[in-house]
Structure 1
Amino acid sequence: MARTKKKWSDLSPTQQRLVVAAAVAEGIATVSVWRDLRKRPASAVRGPKPVWAVLALVQPVGPVAYRRLGRR
């Protein structure tokens, strides 16, 4: 079964708002991780800080993983 990809205009206004809200939430979560990494000493982070900074870009798993596993 081949699925056709929906265009933005095919989404209802509610669906469009949900997509935008999810994107904003992911952006806030990523920036929050980066701010925390910048302020937190390396000794308080499990693993290298640059690796966590890159992993924060993997949405939505990266920010959640950092909050759960990355901080001491």
Structure 2
Amino acid sequence: MDKKLEGKKSRKWSDLSDRQKAMTLVMGSIQLSLAATAWTDLAKRPPEQVNGPKLAWTAIIAINFVGPVLYFVIGRRR
């Protein structure tokens, strides 16, 4: 076993407090909403209005929080 992992337990959903469960669900919902909005915008936007290849942005958007924000900030041409 890796020494970094020794002594660390993986937490189960049932081990989390109600507040931690709620925050996990809220953050997950925000992430999914951002990603879905970014992918929808990317799909509808013509390639000439996107900075870089659309296929690359499709993958970048999948990166938690950072990807969709990057797309909206630098990926779109106005």
The alignment's TM-score, normalised by the length of structure 1, stands at 0.90
| Cross-structure match for 1:19 | 24
Separation in 2, partners of 1:44, 1:22: 30
| Cross-structure match for 2:72 | 67
Separation in 1, partners of 2:41, 2:28: 20
Q: Does residue 1:56 correspond to 2:61, yes or no?
A: yes
| Cross-structure match for 2:51 | 46
The structure that is helix-richer by fraction is 1
Gaps of 5+ in 1: none
Structure having the higher Rg? 2
Give % identity: 36
For the aligned residue pairs, the C-alpha RMSD in angstroms reads: 1.2
**How many residues were matched structurally?**
72
User: How many Å apart are 1:61 and its aligned residue?
Assistant: 1.1
User: How many Å apart are 1:2 and its aligned residue?
Assistant: 3.0
Superposed CA deviations along residues 12-65 of structure 1, whole A, max 9, x for unmatched, are 111101101111111111110111011111111000111101111111211011
Aligned letter for 1:44? Q
Gaps of 5+ in 2: 1-5
SS at match of 1:3: coil
The alignment's TM-score, normalised by the length of structure 2, stands at 0.84
